[in-house]
Homo-oligomer: A and B are copies of this chain.
Amino acid sequence: MRTVIRNVTALTMDPSRPLLTGIDIAIEGATLAAVGGVPADFAPDEAIDGRELLALPAFFNAHTHAAMTLERGWAEDLAFEQWLNDKIWVAESALEEEDVYWGAALACCEMVRAGVVGFADHYFWMDQVARVVEESGMKALLAWCHFGIGTEHELGQTPFEETVAFVERWKGAAGGRVRTTMGPHSLYMDPPGVLRRIAEEAHRVGVGVHFHLAESQEQMDNSVARYGLTPVAHAAALGLLDLPEATIAAHCNVVTGDDLALLAEKGTWVAHTAKTYQKLAMAMPPIASMIAAGVNVALGTDGPASNSDLNLFEVMRAVGLYQKGVQQDPQAMPRMALLRLATEAPAAALGFTGSGVLAPGRPADVILLDTTAPHWIPRHDLAAGVVYTANSGDVAYVWCDGRLLYRRGDYLTLDVERIRWEAERRAFRMVGQPMQSMRAYQG
């Protein structure tokens, strides 16, 4: 399949030529054949008029629990303990394996519509998620969450061996679009012995690890009291930061200067999900200090039960606004840096090397935004438009590995009508409510 996009403007994220206007872009198979300078003899199967459209690398999501779409809106404006214990875990106690398929499918619809083609997922019954990724044409790094400490949470009862078998079973599947990694929940929900074994298995299988790290002052205090180490230093001591593939440490809300130096030295990816931190009133990680210390940072959404959505426009905007406001510096977190944190950075964290930049030979993970809505006009600064005014309704075309997934309201790989219906009916079942098309306001 050969596609050409004609007369388009591109925010390439290639520092040598960040913005190109009035160019043609050629996609051949799974690859960008040309970004400008399309050979005259390139004969496309399809040609798209790119005028008034903006080409951008597709977004990637560095940390989520996709199937938690089913709990979107179920627990709002609540204290954290009440949110988790009274609402989220109660709903999840009714989760069935097939629910994960439909919840993840809904998440894929939402992400594709928002220009997100890849995500790092961390949940249960992950074969279901892998199936959705395979069918949807998207990319993902999948981890089966493991709780090693006695818990009431029945989802934590999956035997360790099964979670490892999942990693081996789906590693590199769907032509490399499905990647896998080890998925302990955290240092506070898995004991040191299990975590060491997870590191060993990661070496044996040749993968990395994705887990929650250093989310609160309480975790910091407990770790220091129990192990004499910060959570980050403890993770390093357990071997979790030295694996064959990437370590994704979600959050790192509470870290020391030494922790940052260690994370930078190890090349650990910190997934930063700022909208959730604000919504749940978690400590805000020192993202500016992290970046200054050379830590790899990538943006993510966390699950929709906390974050409400799976939209990287929202996360870029939340990070930019929050950091400018709190640092009291309007020059903090410039727009091109935010864009990189939502494209090239998370793609690299997930192991999809080469994505996140529009350049010849790169994977054709591309989106086109329609810039004709009034909120784009005048088009003085397209990067500012993407970061501070765009929304998912502006996304017109989405390709992943050269396959067109979405075109102006049409989902080309996902049966959105059926997914919507199945997901909503299962979500209502989980919370013990009758199916209805519009549930009552809870507050």
* Chain A residues proximal to chain B, CB less than 8 Å: 9, 11, 18-19, 21-22, 51-52, 54, 69-74, 76-80, 83, 106-107, 109-110, 113-114, 275, 277-281, 284, 308-311, 318, 320-322, 324-332, 334-336, 371-375, 377-385, 388-389, 391-394, 416, 419-420, 423-424, 427-428, 431, 436-443
Q: How many copies does the complex hold?
A: 2
Q: Would you give the shortest CB distance from A359 to chain B, in whole angstroms?
A: 16
A331 touches B371 (CB 8 A): no
A114 surroundings in chain B (CB, below 8 A): 375
Q: A107-B374, A380-B428 are in contact. List 15 more A-B contacts (CB 8 A).
A: A9-B438, A19-B440, A22-B438, A52-B437, A69-B377, A73-B379, A278-B324, A279-B388, A280-B330, A281-B324, A308-B384, A336-B441, A377-B420, A379-B438, A381-B443
Contacts A110-B375, A279-B321, A393-B393; is A78 near B382 (CB within 8 Å)? Answer: no
Q: Would you give the shortest CB distance from A116 to chain B, in whole angstroms?
A: 12
A19 surroundings in chain B (CB, below 8 A): 440-441
Residue of B nearest to A83 (CB): B330
Contacts A318-B321, A334-B77; is A106 near B279 (CB within 8 Å)? Answer: no
A375 surroundings in chain B (CB, below 8 A): 110, 113-114, 308-311, 392
Contacts A321-B318, A372-B420; is A442 near B79 (CB within 8 Å)? Answer: no
Residue of B nearest to A380 (CB): B73
A427 surroundings in chain B (CB, below 8 A): 377-378, 380
A281 touches B327 (CB 8 A): yes
Which of B9, B326, B393, B439 meets A380, CB within 8 Å? B439
A-B contact pairs, 9 of them (CB 8 A): A22-B438, A52-B437, A52-B438, A74-B380, A79-B330, A106-B374, A281-B329, A308-B384, A374-B420
A80 surroundings in chain B (CB, below 8 A): 330
A79 surroundings in chain B (CB, below 8 A): 330-331
Contacts A113-B374, A325-B322, A334-B443; is A437 near B393 (CB within 8 Å)? Answer: no
A21 surroundings in chain B (CB, below 8 A): 436, 438, 440
Closest 4 CB pairs of A and B: A393-B393, A378-B427, A278-B325, A73-B381
B443 touches A377 (CB 8 A): no
A275 touches B321 (CB 8 A): yes
Residue of A18, A392, A419 with highest tally of chain B CB at under 10 A: A392
A22 surroundings in chain B (CB, below 8 A): 438
B77 touches A439 (CB 8 A): no
| Alpha-carbon distance between A371 and B72 when the two chains are bound, in angstroms | 14
A379 touches B441 (CB 8 A): no
Which of B73, B329, B378, B388 meets A309, CB within 8 Å? B388
| Alpha-carbon distance between A38 and B370 when the two chains are bound, in angstroms | 40
Contacts A308-B384, A330-B77; is A378 near B281 (CB within 8 Å)? Answer: no
Which of B9, B279, B439 meets A378, CB within 8 Å? B439
B393 touches A281 (CB 8 A): no
| Alpha-carbon distance between A113 and B52 when the two chains are bound, in angstroms | 19
Residue of B nearest to A313 (CB): B391
Residue of A281, A320, A442 with highest tally of chain B CB at under 10 A: A281
